[in-house]
Amino acid sequence: MKRIYILLFQLILFTSTAYSQQKFAPENGDRLVLLGNALIENEQQFGFLEYRLTNYWPEKHLTFRNIGWSGDTVFGDARSYYTNPPGPYDLLISQIKAAEPDWLIIGYGNVEAQQGAEGLDLFKNGMNQLLDSVEAIGAKAILLSTIPQISAGTENILQLKNNEYRSYNQAIKEIALKRKITFLDVFDAFNTATSAELYENNGIHLNEKGYAQLAETVMNQLGLNREKPSIEIDASTASVESNVPVQNISIADKARNISFNSIQNLVSNPNPGNETIKVNGLKKGNYSLSVDGKLSAIGSRKQWEDGIILEQGPSLKQSKHLLELIREKDKIYFQQYRPQNRTYILGFRSYEQGRHKEGLEALDALILWLDDQINQTKKLKALHYQLEKLP
């Protein structure tokens, strides 16, 4: 009976933060588009959310486009140019269509909440209008909550602002429930005593650590998190306890030489310290571990029995390369869809520099190539582990 109560509590806890009537399961070939204000735009500097999502499905070819815009609203207010038409909202919809989404992760509300209760109905109408447009092109939407502000002059002002964010979050949640789409409430993950370390000095925008936390929170609420790889081997019995596949284990020379293969996803966070190896039953001495022929760790018998966290190796190198590719692709795509001198290339002064439009279109080939490199790099690879006793 106690186990049933615990299960019910966990279910209630999950559904209180992630409201979902649709299953988030991108298919092979799907395009995921990130849309919203600065919370979304600045994610492309770090790429953690895209990294975590694409890495979760190594067998699927997925592509991502970030069309976030700092200061933007559900009406596309920040996207206006001197060129008119198109107006801001028309430009917003045209950019969504150009990105060809199958899924959109939409993060709006922080800017609109500055209008307080008076602007709430307008925001709800705008969000529904935007979602109608998204449905009309056959894409599925996931709604992201606002994040709190952690500094605002005085405590009273800060409390007032965060209360407004909560009100807008409630509105987003209600829209998601009514339309039977996913709502991810990330607000509380950034509303803690240690939240300051997740923000830039302005107390409004997230820093690198904050975007890593955002990715972690989104993955948790989508139910897509994986345990960190952990492998435990008993050299005396040749038995293995592991949360990842381990094959072809070989123990030779009285446990002085142990080898095995493992196929696993790239680490969830492309930083050292994501994989633990434990080995029991070794003889006294020091042992080195190589992965695919590259030295990854050295430790005593006692250290291997306690477990050594790998700080280097092919998997980490592959993970870092994947993140680098994602950041490079995002940077080039940003240059293409938001050129600095857009008015002169695509707008009403294109008679001066319109010839550069071909240069922007030529970036398509590079972006598609990077898409392919990302999907090749994230594929599962068999790693060969070799533990040897040192002289």
Q: Between these two residues, 13 and 184, which has the higher pLDDT value?
A: 184
- Asked whether 184 and 142 are in contact (CB, 8 A), the reply is yes
> Looking at residues 191-195, what average pLDDT do you find?
92
User: pLDDT, tens digit, for every residue of 299-336?
Assistant: 999 999 999 998 888 888 889 999 999 999 999 999 88
CB neighbours of residue 24 within 10 Å: 19
- Asked whether 183 and 173 are in contact (CB, 8 A), the reply is yes
Q: Between these two residues, 173 and 363, which has the higher pLDDT value?
A: 173
User: Cα separation of 386 and 330, whole Å?
Assistant: 37
174-184 exposure pattern, b = at least 16 Cβ within 10 A, e = fewer: ebbeebebbbb
User: pLDDT, tens digit, for every residue of 233-285?
Assistant: 999 888 999 988 898 999 988 778 999 999 877 766 677 677 899 999 999 99
Domains of the chain: 17-222 (3.40.50.1110), 227-391 (no CATH)
Sheet with strand 286-291: strands edge to edge? 246-252, 257-264, 381-389, 286-291, 294-300
pLDDT(16) > 50: no
